[in-house]
Amino acid sequence: GSQGDKGSIGDKGTKGDSGLSGNQQNNLELSPYFLALTFPNGKIVGDKIFMTSGYEGNFDDLKKKCMQAGGQLASPRNNEENAAVQQIVFTHDKSVFLGINDIQTEGKFTYLDGKPIVYSNWQPGEPNNDKGIEDCVQVFSTGKWNDKSCDERLLILCEF
């Protein structure tokens, strides 16, 4: 952010010497605006907002719904973002599909734009492409990932 490593409003949550994100240092996460807008379906991490509407559907359904809303399926790119996804899964006690799959090439997981993933949090033993039909990625309430059939119906989680 413009205030160096001290963090500033809208600085994407970059962590400075304190280990706290700009949002945490500025107490934004305790502000009534954050609390109201994210209760109980969302989480803000840096400049990314994760939000569920409670809708459940298969991967194609959920992908389409997020795009129609102007976002995309949640695609956590680091531990902090994955922890936000985990928290929403835990709160709703329903797992979600990520905007990550290996539909194009078995074993090569990519984002929806086709680029290879830069972060993952697989459950030990996963991805295992069980029965040869698991090309999508679900997140458990532990935050761990499992490859799963894209035909399963899971909770929607978009990022904006």
Residues that bind ligand 289 (CB under 6 A): 126, 128, 130, 134, 146, 148
Q: How far is the CB of 134 from Ca ion (least distance, A)?
A: 5
Q: Does 146 bind Ca ion (CB under 5 A)?
A: yes
CB 97 within 8 A of CB 59: yes
Q: How far is the CB of 23 from ligand 289 (least distance, A)?
A: 35
110 beta partners = 101, 116
Residues 67-86 that bind Ca ion (CB under 5 A): none
Q: How far is the CB of 103 from ligand 289 (least distance, A)?
A: 16
Q: Kindly tell me which of 128 and 142 has the beta carbon lying closer to ligand 289.
A: 128
Q: Which stretch binds Ca ion (CB under 5 A): 12-20, 24-32, 53-61, 144-152?
A: 144-152
What backbone torsions phi and psi does residue 28 show, to the nearest 5 degrees? Answer: -65, -35
The Cα–Cα gap between 42 and 157 comes to 9
The Cα–Cα gap between 154 and 51 comes to 14
Q: Does 130 bind Ca ion (CB under 5 A)?
A: yes
Strands (E), 33-85: 42-45, 48-51, 56-57, 72-73
Q: Does 147 bind Ca ion (CB under 5 A)?
A: yes
**Whole-Å CA distances, 64 to 31, 57, 61, 158:** 32, 10, 5, 10
DSSP 8-state code for residue 123: P
Q: Kindly tell me which of 43 and 148 has the beta carbon lying closer to ligand 289.
A: 148
Q: How far is the CB of 54 from ligand 289 (least distance, A)?
A: 23
Instruction: Provide the binding-site residues for Ca ion, judged by CB under 5 A.
Output: 126, 128, 130, 134, 146-147
